[in-house]
């Protein structure tokens, strides 16, 4: 994992030196700067993206809690303070952790590991949904995208034609909402009333009619270009 960029903000020079020594022996961290003045720290943060700030709370001019409210959500905070009564306030600003002075390295590294977990979670790509729920006859039915043959629009309702299902599933939904819900790489609207699962099309005839399930669906002019482009890429 790329080291987490960080800064130290504390008006006590000895506290800064201690934290600098902790950061120096922690390969997960890359120190960009240290400050004994919170206003200077704010100016730096406005010009330089920083992932993590080790920040004292009681400081002159602007305390750490005030400073934290002025930062973007891109900079996470680990508070460092001698006053445990600030712990509750630190969680109100979504601090990663709260270290009580005098800080020991084992507590410091535990807080760093929390930060690593948070940043690692942020980088995870959410998995693409493979199913959706439809309200049918007052019940929620879960439908696998792989089993959908095509969707047929009927004014304020749509019919989902499902492989292996004798009757379509009818639900109150617009075609636009269906388009937004289905993965664009797998489904395409080929006329005003039909969205088809592309890999379920058996044949496309010379009149640009798609044979899918028991249905023959004509590709209308408004959707012709996109469909022909898909067919040429597929071939």
* CATH code of residue 158: 2.40.50.1020
Q: Let me know whether 135 and 119 are in one domain.
A: no
Q: What is the pLDDT of residue 115?
A: 93
Confidence of residue 124 (pLDDT cuts 50, 70, 90): low
| Residue 49 reports pLDDT greater than 60 | yes
136 and 52 belong to one structural domain: no
Same domain, 153 and 59: no
* Contacts of 150 by beta carbon, 8 Å cutoff, 6+ apart: 161, 194, 195, 196, 197, 200, 212, 213, 215, 217
pLDDT band at 188 (very low <50, low <70, confident <90, very high): very high
64 with 41, same domain: the answer is yes
- Say whether pLDDT at 86 is over 60: no
Residues 152 and 58 in one domain: no
Q: Domain with 54 in it: what CATH number?
A: 3.40.50.2300
How many C-beta atoms lie closer than 10 Å to residue 136's C-beta?
15
| Rounded-to-integer distance, Cα 33 and Cα 167, Å | 66
Do 56 and 68 contact (CB within 8 A), yes or no?
A: no
Q: pLDDT tens-digit profile of 146-185?
A: 999 999 999 889 999 999 898 999 999 889 889 888 998 9
The total of structural domains in the chain comes to 2
- According to the model, what pLDDT value does residue 59 have? 87
Residues 78 and 117 reside in one and the same domain: yes
| Predicted model pTM | 0.53
Cα–Cα dist 205/70, whole Å: 62
User: Is the pLDDT reported for residue 126 higher than 60?
Assistant: no
- In 2-138, the DSSP E strands lie at 4-9, 29-35, 52-56, 76-81, 97-100, 131-136
Distance CA 188, CA 3 (A): 43
The residue from 88, 123, 158 where one domain ends is 123
Task: Band the pLDDT of 122: cuts 50, 70, 90.
Answer: confident
Domain check: are 138 and 221 in the same one?
yes
CA gap 69, 76 in Å, rounded: 11
Whose tokens are 């961290």? That residue is 29
* Domain-ending residue, one of 123, 153, 185: 123
Could you list the residue range(s) of the whole structural domain that residue 187 is in? 131-234
Give the whole-angstrom CA distance, residue 76 versus residue 115.
Answer: 8
Report how far residue 132's alpha carbon sits from residue 89's, in angstroms, rounded to the nearest whole number: 40
DSSP three-state, residue 20 = helix
Mean pLDDT for all residues in the chain: 89
Task: Give the residue among 223, 227, 224, 201 at the shortest CA–CA distance from 212.
Answer: 201
Check whether residue 230 and residue 169 sit in a common domain: yes
Residue 97 has pLDDT above 90, yes or no: no
Mean pLDDT of 113-129: 76
Q: How far is CA 77 from the centre of its chain?
A: 20
Q: Of 94, 123, 152, which residue is a domain's last?
A: 123
Are 115 and 183 in the same domain? no
Residues 24 and 102 in one domain: yes
User: Torsions phi, psi of 17, nearest 5?
Assistant: -65, -40
- Are residues 32 and 105 located together in one domain of the fold? yes
pLDDT of residue 83: 72
Asked whether residue 189 carries a pLDDT value surpassing 70, the answer given is yes
d(CA 9, CA 26): 18
- For residue range 196-235, what is the model confidence (pLDDT) as tens digits? 999 999 999 999 999 998 899 999 999 999 999 988 876 5
């Amino acid at each position: 994992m790329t080291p987490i960029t960080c800064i130290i903000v504390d008006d006590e020079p000895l506290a800064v030196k201690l934290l600098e020594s902790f950061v120096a022996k922690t390969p997960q961290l890359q120190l960009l700067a240290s400050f004994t003045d919170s206003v200077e720290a704010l100016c730096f943060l406005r010009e330089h993206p920083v992932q993590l700030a080790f920040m004292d709370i009681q400081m002159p001019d602007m305390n750490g809690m005030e400073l934290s409210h002025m930062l973007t959500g891109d900079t996470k905070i680990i508070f460092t303070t001698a006053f445990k009564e600030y712990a509750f306030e630190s969680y109100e600003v979504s601090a990663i952790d709260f270290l009580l002075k005098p800080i020991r390295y084992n507590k410091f590294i535990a807080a760093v590991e929390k930060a690593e977990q948070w940043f690692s979670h942020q980088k995870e790509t959410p998995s693409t949904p493979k199913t959706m729920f439809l309200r049918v006859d007052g019940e929620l039915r879960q439908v696998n995208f792989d089993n959908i043959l095509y969707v047929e629009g009927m004014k304020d309702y749509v019919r989902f034609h499902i492989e292996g299902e004798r009757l379509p599933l009818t639900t109150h939904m617009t075609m636009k909402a269906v388009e937004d819900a289905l993965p664009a790489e797998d489904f395409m609207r080929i006329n005003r009333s039909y969205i088809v699962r592309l890999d379920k099309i058996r044949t496309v005839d010379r009149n640009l009619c798609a044979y899918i399930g028991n249905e023959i669906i004509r590709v209308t002019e408004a959707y012709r270009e996109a469909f022909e482009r898909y067919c040429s890429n597929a071939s």
